[in-house]
Amino acid sequence: MLESTAVTPRRGRPGHDRNSMLEVIVQVFNDHGYDASSLGMIADRLGLSKSAVYHHFASKAEMLEIALERVLGELERVFDEAEAQTGDAVLQIRHVVLEAVQVACVQQQYLTLLLRLHGNSDVELRALERRRLLTARLRKMFDAARAEGSLRDDMDPGLAARFTFGLVNSLVEWYRPDGPDTPEELATAVLGYVRTGLRVNETRDFR
């Protein structure tokens, strides 16, 4: 489920299909912010004329929409998988955390873009709404975890869902594809942190 979303290039120009262009475009958005990124800056970075860029994308908003679809689509797929639909809630949460960490690593630039949206356009508002729905789905799992007794009684399920996504999302700040930690190792570490980050000594209550 971690493959890139297939986007059919409008034209078979090698090296300039929409997917590889999008990688560069998202980097421009993340370097300067979406609002400050001009078509001129994008064309420069791609080494293309503006009209060549327009051959592949109708507008800056279309670039944004396709980029956001990539990461939102992946995250929604994680929740749609069988492991997130049936069985103990605590194991569903485990599945979502492990897979979401990997999405965060593999789609790092796309998730960064999503996390920095300002909500100044319809495309942004729709993406933010989808993000809210993902948090609501995780929250339902925490509700179920509490009902089955696998969430501490004093932990609010809504806060637990937000904290968990906050933790996963923070990976985009410092994850490096060249290591030292692999996405799999980070997924395990995040899960360990969620489970019991700090040991409570019996003689020294941490509260």
Between 42 and 167, whose beta carbon lies closer to a second copy?
167
Specify whether the CB–CB gap between 157 and 145 falls below 8 A: yes
26 — phi, psi (to 5°)? -65, -35
Q: CA 27 → CA 22, 41, 63, 87, 158, distances in Å? A: 8, 11, 12, 39, 33
How far apart, in whole angstroms, are the C-alpha atoms of residue 204 and residue 207?
Answer: 9
Compose the 117-146 pattern: x for residues touching a second copy by CB under 8 A, - for all others: -x-x------------------------x-
Choose, by CB under 8 A, the member of 8, 51, 86, 196 that binds a second copy.
Answer: 196
Cis peptide, bond prior to residue 180, ω within 30 of zero: yes
Stretch that binds a second copy, among 33-41, 46-54, 66-74, 77-85 (CB under 8 A): 33-41
Q: Is 160 in the site for a second copy (CB under 8 A)?
A: yes
Q: Is 63 in the site for a second copy (CB under 8 A)?
A: no
Identify whether the C-beta of residue 175 lies closer than 8 Å to the C-beta of residue 94.
no
Under a CB-based contact definition with an 8 Å cutoff, are residues 70 and 25 in contact?
no
- CB nearer a second copy, residue 3 or residue 178: 178
Q: Which is nearer to a second copy, 11 or 207 (CB)?
A: 207
The token pair at 26 is 């998202």
Residues in binding contact with a second copy, number by CB under 8 A:
54
* Nearest to a second copy of 16, 139 (CB atom): 139
Closest to 103 (Cα-Cα) out of 121, 91, 115, 117: 115
Give yes or no for residue 2 binding a second copy (CB under 8 A).
Answer: no
Does the footprint of a second copy cover residue 87 (CB under 8 A)? Answer: no
Report d(CA 139, CA 147) in Å as an integer.
12
203 contacts a second copy (rule: CB under 8 A):
no
User: Looking at the chain, how many residues does it have?
Assistant: 207
For residue 54, the minimal CB distance to a second copy (Å) is 22
User: What residue ranges bind a second copy (CB under 8 A)?
Assistant: 30-36, 88, 90, 93-94, 116, 118, 120, 145, 149-152, 154-156, 159-160, 162-167, 169-171, 173-174, 181, 186, 188-201, 204, 206-207
